[in-house]
Amino acid sequence: MQVPLFATSLAPYHERIAERVAEVTASGRYILGPELDAFEREFAEYLGVGHVIGVGNGTDALTIALRALGVGPGDEVVCPSLTFYATAEAIVNAGARPVFCDVDPETACVTAETVRPLVGERTKAIVPVHLFGNVAPVPELRDLGVPVLEDAAQAAGATLGGARAGALGDAATFSFFPSKNLPCIGDGGAVTTNSDEVAERARTLRFHGSRDKKTHTEVGYNSRLDSVQAAVLRLLLPELDGWNERRRAAAEAYERAGIGEFVTPLRPVEGAEHVYHLYVARSDDADDLAAALSERGIGARGYYRTPCHRQAPMREYASGDLPATDELARTIIALPMGPELGADQAAAVVAACGARAAA
Ligand SMILES: Cc1ncc(COP(=O)(O)O)c(C=O)c1O
């Protein structure tokens, strides 16, 4: 049985997406305007947060949110090294210095313990990453007394203690890249916050540091969420909870089929409702396992084998050991996941792990 790594497809929505695109085309309002306003309102209501600001992508969302929180040159921002490069890249692009922290080896998320030793006088923000659809423990991070910016790119719809990722910190960011849990049909992202002040600054920054295109109050960016993408996101947002439910059902199917005999799945953070952007487990021979599964037609891939602090442009910021990060970077493997992954496919993946173990 062939099982793709990303078991998700927009094919059933193609016709309705085309209709929404045609409506935007006919409207003549392509940048800012009613579709974006409506998506920002609807996503804010879904998250239970005061403001959503649609921007060009999840990376710009991070840079803009950091600057809106007042981060700039000379500041330090604590973030995990075990994340997509964009998390650290945005900190550097905001003019600040990333300070890489370790993660909990069982959840792959940062904790108050891994962050606390790195918080000092220059620390202007902490950026926990809700990695693979898990939710980092934001309340204990907020107790450290520094603004918390959630990188929720991989966790649309996840909750912690009943509150949505994206509504837990001082601000948060999302990516709507096509493989994400809430996708659009190109690049897209958003900043979220309960603070009127941070929201106003993010709106200004995404539009050349201006609200009226005549007076510019700072040097910003040209980074808006296009009306076409906003219209597609309005169509797909009502599907998000159902898709995430199916992702969780697929994770349960893996457990029932006995995946734990062959690999050690990462566990959800206490109180988190995980949304399994990826289904990730630890294995001492992760790369051999991925190769053996691929030979059997099953998508599997190592993630973040070179964590941020070991990437060439970030080495100048690396300091101190990150043992759990290095261990996870060596051992994690993503197995097929998505709303379309059936229990039979999950069982086939586990059977393939078993066949390889027996070979
Ligand atoms: C954790 C994380 N942060 C930020 C980003 C950046 O998002 P984008 O690709 O929309 O710029 C991603 C995207 O893959 C991500 O996974």
- Place 294 in a pLDDT band, splitting at 50, 70 and 90: very high
pLDDT score for 310 = 97
For residue 91, pLDDT over 90 is answered with yes
What pLDDT, on the 0 to 100 scale, is given for residue 356? 86
Same domain, 145 and 167: yes
Residues 203 and 303 in one domain: no
Residues 322 and 349 in one domain: yes
Using a 6 Å cutoff on CB, does residue 46 contact ligand 1? Answer: no
Domain boundary among 206, 238, 270: 238
- Let me know whether 179 and 306 are in one domain: no
**173 CB less than 6 Å from ligand 1?**
no
Looking at the structure, tell me whether residues 176 and 224 fall in a common domain.
yes
Burial (CB count within 10 angstroms: exposed 0-12, middle 13-18, buried 19+), residue 93: middle
Task: Choose one of 55, 84, 277, 303 to mutate for the ligand 1 pocket test, by most ligand atoms within 8 angstroms of C-beta.
Answer: 84
Residue range 192-205: mean pLDDT, rounded: 98
Three-class DSSP category at 273:
strand
Interatomic CA distance for residues 164 and 173, integer angstroms: 12
Which atom, in ligand 1's list, is nearest to the CA of 90? 4
Confidence (pLDDT) at 84: 98
Same domain, 89 and 138: yes
Give the HSE-up count for residue 134: Cα atoms under 13 Å, Cβ half-sphere: 25
**Where does a domain end: 238, 259, 274?**
238
- Is residue 5 included in any domain, yes or no? no
Ligand 1 atom closest to the Cα of residue 130 is 1
Q: Are residues 62 and 199 in the same domain?
A: yes
* Residues 221 and 304 grouped into a single domain: no
pLDDT tens track for 209-243: 999 999 999 999 999 999 999 999 999 999 999 99
Who contacts 272 (Cβ-Cβ below 8 Å, separation ≥6)?
134, 135, 158, 159, 160
* pLDDT value of position 209: 97
Among 154, 179, 184, 221, name the best residue to mutate to test ligand 1's pocket (greatest count of ligand atoms within 8 A of Cβ): 154
In a domain, 301, yes or no: yes
Q: Give the nearest ligand 1 atom to 59 CA.
A: 11
Instruction: Express each pLDDT in 93-111 by its tens digit.
Output: 999 999 999 999 999 999 9
Measure 357 CA to ligand 1 centroid, in angstroms. 34
Residue 221 lies in a domain: yes
What is the domain-level CATH number for residue 41? 3.40.640.10
- Let me know how many helices (H) and strands (E) the chain has, helices first: 12, 14
For residue 65, the surrounding DSSP H or E stretch is helix 58-68
Nearest to 184 by CA among 153, 230, 227: 230
My answer on whether 183 and 35 are in the same domain is yes
193 touches ligand 1 (CB under 6 Å): no
Nearest to 337 by CA among 238, 246, 236: 246
Q: Give percent of the chain with pLDDT exceeding 90.
A: 97
Domain check: are 173 and 190 in the same one?
yes
Distance in angstroms between the alpha carbons of the first and the last residue of the chain: 18
Say how many domains are in the chain.
2
Question: Does position 357 have pLDDT exceeding 90, yes or no?
Answer: no
pLDDT at 116 over 90: yes
Residues 6+ apart with CB under 8 A from 59: 86, 89, 90, 175, 189
Domain that holds residue 157: 11-238
Same domain, 321 and 226: no
8 lines ligand 1 (CB under 6 A): no
172 within a domain of the structure (yes/no): yes
pLDDT at 358 > cutoff 90: no
Which CATH number covers residue 329?
3.90.1150.10
Q: Mark which of 238, 263, 278 sits at the end of a domain.
A: 238
Q: Do 295 and 281 sit in the same domain of this protein?
A: yes
The answer to whether residue 171 sits within a structural domain is yes
- Residue 82 burial by CB count (10 A; 0-12/13-18/19+): exposed, middle or buried? buried
Q: Is residue 2 part of a domain?
A: no
Token pair listed for 36: 């974006």
Question: Is residue 224 situated within a structural domain?
Answer: yes
Specify the pLDDT at position 359: 81
155 lines ligand 1 (CB under 6 A): no
User: Does a structural domain hold residue 16?
Assistant: yes
pLDDT at 1 over 90: no
Residues forming beta bridges with residue 77, ordered by sequence position: 98, 125
Residues 8-23 pLDDT 10s: 999 999 999 999 999 9
Secondary structure element (H or E) that encloses residue 91, with its range = helix 86-93
